[in-house]
Amino acid sequence: MSPLALPGPLVDVHWLAEHLDHPDLLVLDAGVGDHRGEPLPISGARVFDLDGALSDHADPRPHTMPNAAQFTAEVRALGVNDRSTVVVYDGAGVYSSARALWMFRAMGFDRVAVLNGGLPAWAAAGLPRAAVTSVPVAVGDFTAAPRPGLFVDSATVLAALADDSSAVLDARTRERFAGTAPEPRAGLRGGHMPGAFNLPFGELQSAGHMLPPTELRARIHELTGERERLLFSCGSGVTACILTLGAELAGYRDLAVYDGSWSEWGLPSELPVVTGS
């Protein structure tokens, strides 16, 4: 029997409700901070802890991608198998769930989708929720097959900024991009990478849902023109993944996330920073 197939990288609450009891389906709450689905998550959901075990805490930057061994161990502990189909969500609509999807992709796993509208859409539809419990989980057999290049470093971003066939898009607010608003993390310079484009992640959404693919394509194309190689940055590598999701829905395929994002680039260093819009 074939594993449960997804309609794409984004599913709605009706699709999830229809398949919630499928034996291959796992639902993961990938919320961070106040955007976690507790105390009443989607029925049966398990916690994909981006603030905890699913970040590399040996790295001083926040929310850094863990290595393959750590990722494998943590998602196996959640019960993820090689034949699983995974739906990730958060409590904000579409926020950190997009980061969880990109992490799975970077580890070679494609049967994963984001719940459009997240927990707010699920709750608004009156669909099943349940109190958090500590039910034992059977350890999965997930096997990572890392894909180099889905997460990139500052040297790759520097090269892309100088490459006319590539574009770097920054998901932070316009004020942070321009350097007119302070950075929320102490010690970071204000401003942006020279040559980067500003596309605040909220401009790809409406009421916590991703815009339709044609609108996503139009918004990205307006900035990047015919460039098909797109790299994404933000404050700590989380909301950059919303842009990645939007670009994938829009039909772009050559995509990468700068894992260090402004938490690294904004530190005092020789990495270039400019201010203004």
Q: Which residues are catalytic?
A: 234
- 261 — alpha (psi -120 to 50), left (phi > 0) or beta? left
Q: How many C-beta atoms lie closer than 10 Å to residue 91's C-beta?
A: 24
Tokens of 185: 């993390």
Q: What is the C-alpha to C-alpha distance for residues 276 and 54, in angstroms, rounded to an integer?
A: 35
What is the enclosing helix (H) or strand (E) of 176? Answer: helix 174-178
* CA R_g for the chain: 18
186 CB-near residues (< 8 Å, 6+ apart):
none
Indicate the pairing of strand 209-210 with strand 46-47. Answer: unpaired
